[in-house]
A and B are shown apart, each in its own frame.
Chain A
Amino acid sequence: EAGVAQSPRYKIIEKRQSVAFWCNPISGHATLYWYQQILGQGPKLLIQFQNNGVVDDSQLPKDRFSAERLKGVDSTLKIQPAKLEDSAVYLCASSLDRTGIIINNEQFFGPGTRLTVL
């Protein structure tokens, strides 16, 4: 079974530039998550999709971050314009349908995109 794919793996940009990250979840996984992980901290949920609908985006800085999941499969996260504090690893994860009774909410993570903003 193929895992969660992300690209690019690394990105270096200057502040005020724009950047986009792409994620392709495991086939059949209805739920897709974007996390931001700053060095030395735990992953922070930015946005969670159930199919192509947003379940939670309460911690997404909507003035500069946007995300979409067209057709309920792959997803794109964009930052425009970037700030120095956006330097982090952006992790995409997916899991089976989150609705109903959850017996085992295993999330499968992609390798992440390491963003450096100069």
Chain B
Amino acid sequence: GQSLEQPSEVTAVEGAIVQINCTYQTSGFYGLSWYQQHDGGAPTFLSYNALDGLEETGRFSSFLSRSDSYGYLLLQELQMKDSASYFCACDTGGFKTIFGAGTRLFVKA
């Protein structure tokens, strides 16, 4: 079957750096996305990696290794407002999107 694995929870302090890993097993692969979702809110897009390497957008960076079926989201200079759930999502064969179960990030003062 198709699946994505990511840690269920991560805790870090304000100002720190945190990395959220995602490994995937899918039938066909086009790209890996990351979304942020605050409690009671809708998912919002953070990044998309179709090719190997690092993509940087402000304090957030995302990495993909297609050969390892692995990616990560890196959050720098953590702020309290970054406390949220983070989902990795794969675009698979047939253009179908599959989401992981999500990683809940707690940022402490």
A, B: real partners: yes
- Mask of A12-56 contacts with B, CB within 8 angstroms, 1/0: 000000000000000000010101000011111100101000011
Q: How far is the CB of B41 from chain A (nearest CB, A)?
A: 8
Stretch at the interface among A61-69, A79-87, A96-104: A96-104
Query: Of residues 60 to 109 in B, which have CB atoms within 8 Å of A's CB atoms?
Result: 87, 89, 91, 94-102
Given A102-B50, A112-B42: A42 and B101 within 8 A (CB)? yes
Listed residue (B97, B100, B101) with the most chain A CB atoms within 10 angstroms of its CB: B97
* Contact yes or no, B45 A107, CB < 8 A: yes
A residues within 8 A CB of B102? 40-42
* Contact yes or no, B95 A103, CB < 8 A: no
- How many residues of chain A get a CB closer than 8 Å to chain B's CBs? 29
Bound Cα distance A45, B100 (Å): 11
Bound Cα distance A110, B33 (Å): 18
Does A106 reach chain B (CB closer than 8 Å)? yes
* Contact yes or no, A105 B31, CB < 8 A: yes
In the complex, what residue of chain A is closest to B104 when comparing beta carbons? A40
* Contact yes or no, B91 A105, CB < 8 A: yes
Bound Cα distance A35, B99 (Å): 10
Q: How far is the CB of A92 from chain B (nearest CB, A)?
A: 9
* Contact yes or no, A48 B42, CB < 8 A: no
* Contact yes or no, B43 A91, CB < 8 A: yes
Given A42-B100, A44-B99, A105-B31: A56 and B94 within 8 A (CB)? yes
| A contacts, CB < 8 Å to B | 31, 33, 35, 40-45, 48, 50, 55-56, 58, 91, 93, 98-99, 102-112
* Given A33-B97, A109-B44, 20 more pairs with CB closer than 8 A: A42-B102, A45-B99, A50-B95, A55-B96, A56-B94, A93-B43, A99-B95, A102-B31, A102-B95, A103-B48, A105-B30, A105-B31, A105-B33, A105-B91, A106-B33, A106-B45, A107-B35, A108-B45, A109-B42, A111-B42
